[in-house]
Amino acid sequence: MFPWPSVRVCSGMAWARNLEPLFSPGPGCSAWDRKKVKSSSEFARAQGFITSRWRLSLPLRSEAGFRPSNPKKTAGWIDADASIQYALQQAKDLGAELILDNPVLGWECRENQLKVKTERENLIATKLIITAGAWANQVLRDLGLPLTVKRKVLAWFDPLQPEQFEEEKIPIFAFAPNLFYGFPNIGGRGVKVGEHLGGNLVHDLNLPVMPPSSEDLDSLVETASEVVPTLIGPPPGRDVRLLRTMTCLYTLTPDEHFIIDRHPRHQNVFFAAGFSGHGFKFAPVIAEALADLALDGKTTLPIDFLRLKGRFEKSGN
């Protein structure tokens, strides 16, 4: 929901849009968020503005509404699947060989030559870039990265008052306390909602991720009816028109910043992990940083604060 240079590149595509953002911090939100809150009168003004403009109601626990000064340029929506297909096609057009659906079982480095063992074959390489998401600690076993994996639930609702959820009628929004967030009804997909905070810890990644349970949905419905009453109706007479649900995984670092670095013991191995639920929009620039590191051994992109060394002393990294 924050700065989105990559959208400008794709905004000609049907699967990407610039949209307005609205963010409401509350108890438990970081000082960064609070700094934006100057006075309670600003709260009253924000509340009035938000309710009149967007028929959203700030949760009782909220402290303010925060909307960037130039909203149009700072947020966006992208169809994740379409953009991944687009990126794969771009890579292929540039000569990349795509080896899909072939799990990596392990890798080893001998005299600067890398052998990557996959289910189907062994691959020999001079450089290796690893971005294995929630499975990073399986592929980078020797590093013991301080990663926590959480199961997250998303839901799409058919809105009670559809005219309220058209693209220009409602911003991308996020509200305390669990950073309950949502998107307009883009392309008739329904109104997507989720909670950025919270989620169940996943201890065994070899087990399938549990599909959404009624408890998962109850908490989303509870908050939705409080924050966006025109979506499913206020309690008790809710009219929940659930279209779709999905689970996926967050891979969290202790400081919720990414880890992008060269392997401390193998000079020709590079990795990125721990995107902590907000990495998709940064994928193009992270790819650029990793390509720079692999090809030139350095990058001009400001990634020093994302390196591993000394960052998680307690975890021995």
Ligand X SMILES: Cc1cc2nc3c(=O)[nH]c(=O)nc-3n(C[C@H](O)[C@H](O)[C@H](O)COP(=O)(O)OP(=O)(O)OC[C@H]3O[C@@H](n4cnc5c(N)ncnc54)[C@H](O)[C@@H]3O)c2cc1C
Q: Which residues bind ligand X (CB under 6 A)?
A: 103-104, 131-135, 139, 152, 154, 194, 248-250, 275, 277-281
User: Most distant CA pair in the chain: distance in Å?
Assistant: 68
Shortest spacing between CB 93 and ligand X, in angstroms: 21
Amino acid symbol at 144: G
Nearer to ligand X, 2 or 49 (CB): 2
The least CB distance from residue 199 to ligand X, in Å, is 9
For the bound state, the minimum distance from the C-beta of residue 301 to ligand X, rounded and expressed in Å, comes to: 17
Strands, sheet with 104-110, edge to edge from the N-terminal-most edge strand:
104-110, 113-118, 122-125
What's the 3-state SS for 232-267? HCCCCCCCCCEEEEEEEEEEECCCCCCEEEEECCEE
Q: Quote the least distance from Cβ 281 to ligand X, whole Å.
A: 4
17 or 229, CB closer to ligand X?
17
% helix / strand / coil in the chain, to the nearest 5?
30, 25, 45
For the bound state, the minimum distance from the C-beta of residue 156 to ligand X, rounded and expressed in Å, comes to 12
Nearer to ligand X, 17 or 152 (CB): 152
* Amino acid making up residue 187: G
User: β-strands 21-24, 104-110: how paired?
Assistant: unpaired
Closer Cβ to ligand X, 109 or 154, answer by number = 154
Query: For ligand X, which is the closer residue by CB, 58 or 139?
Result: 139
In the complex, the smallest distance separating the C-beta of residue 52 from ligand X, rounded to whole angstroms, is 27
- State in angstroms the smallest separation of the CB of 50 from ligand X: 21
Give kind and range of the element (H or E) at residue 292: helix 283-296
Class of residue 7 by CB neighbours under 10 A (exposed 0-12, middle 13-18, buried 19+): buried
Q: Which is nearer to ligand X, 169 or 257 (CB)?
A: 257
Phi/psi of residue 46, nearest 5 degrees: -60, -45
| 3-class secondary structure, 154 | strand
Nearer to ligand X, 65 or 133 (CB): 133
- Burial of residue 255 (CB within 10 Å: 0-12, 13-18, 19+) is middle
Give the number of other CB atoms < 10 A from CB of residue 288: 13
